[in-house]
Amino acid sequence: MRREERKSIRRTKRALLSAGFTRRRRPKLPKRVIAAALAAVLLCLSLITDKYIFPVDYLWVYASQPSIAEREEGELRCFYLDVGQGDCTLIQLPDGQSLLIDCGNGNAEGLRTILSFCLALKIGRIDHLLITHADTDHIGGLEAVLRCFVAGTVYFPSYVFTEEMYESDLKCAEKYAERVCAAEVLTSFFAEEEEFFWYGLVLSGFIGEDKEDENDSSAILYLEYAGRRFLFPGDVSSAVERELVTIFEETDGVVFEVPVKTSFGSVVLSPVLKELDFLKASHHGSADATSAAFCEYVLPQTVFFSSGAGNSYGHPSQQTVQNLIQAVPSVQFYRTDELGNIMLTIARDGSFSVRPV
């Protein structure tokens, strides 16, 4: 090709370029536009997760779930959770329902324990949530628990409904629970199946109601299954324990009997305090509760203490421990400050075992 022809071709190309007849490259999107689009996608995913799956600010609990075997048919499993200097007991009932007693103090470590155990046990809904009383170490984790798992019924002691300072707790429960009610004396909940029948019955409500000390207005819960009997007394003092025992002695417990209708017929709930199988020591084992007289009346065979390791209150008190040993020399103690989380398992025949988890 001649030199003149090559020059002509180059001139023609330059002319075409300047005239805009060549294909131009597509302009690149600015990095900030891409980042904004990704942020929008992540925000949408977060909102969907938070609303329909699990609150995003508690997703971190998925990282540390305990390994727990599947519950056997007809088993009741009671988990005394280590929430530090607070209180929380999670119960898998034999018919598949769940019961949570108190919610710890709301600190991160306690919430991790409560939420991770619920996840590990595949509890998607808490059927019964009982707040024994509204001290922070018992109610602090309420909102987090309800946000993550909702509830069938939330039970509060009566005074919560009359004091303005607990309005936010009530509103929270009303937002996430199907039902909110007072844990008054003789409030009950129970199984509908005869084969795995269990029941819970509140023994207080009027006891300590006129006292200024909210601990003495704690809802005392009695629970029974397969011939085994529990007592969860909240933080009541020895004065309320004395009132409770006096009422049982004077009426032979008849005042606490409650007839209920189930799917298999009428049943009378009839609590018995003498020779309790399992007692959760009141007020974390404080010296102002679990008196010698109370121990001698209920004669508990196994006692659980919920207290924080190295707590400044000295819980459980040595006096409380001595009261229990004097009443029942063979009594067995299990402490969350020493063992961490504790699992009590009751089989359908009433046999039981206790171990840390």
Mean pLDDT of 307-312: 94
Q: Which CATH architecture has domain 48-356?
A: 4-Layer Sandwich (3.60)
pLDDT tens-place string over residues 138-197: 999 999 999 999 999 999 998 999 999 999 999 999 999 999 999 999 999 999 989 999
One-character DSSP codes across 3-21: HHHHHHHHHHHHHHHHHT-
pLDDT tens-place string over residues 220-275: 999 999 999 999 999 999 999 999 999 999 999 999 999 999 999 999 999 999 99
Look up the pTM and report it: 0.86
9 vs 14, 15, 18, 228, 270, CA distance in Å? Answer: 9, 10, 14, 102, 107
At residue 252, the pLDDT reads 93
Higher pLDDT: 247 or 36? It is: 247
Domain-wise residue ranges, the chain: 48-356
State the DSSP H helix or E strand holding residue 334, giving kind and residue range, or none if neither: strand 332-335
Nearest to 236 by CA among 257, 200, 205: 205
One-character DSSP codes across 41-60: HHHHHHHHIIIII--GGGGG
Nearest to 335 by CA among 357, 307, 310, 312: 307
298 vs 235, 315, 324, CA distance in Å? Answer: 17, 21, 10
d(CA 290, CA 306): 14
One-character DSSP codes across 204-230: -SSTTTT-S-GGGGPPPEEEEETTEEE
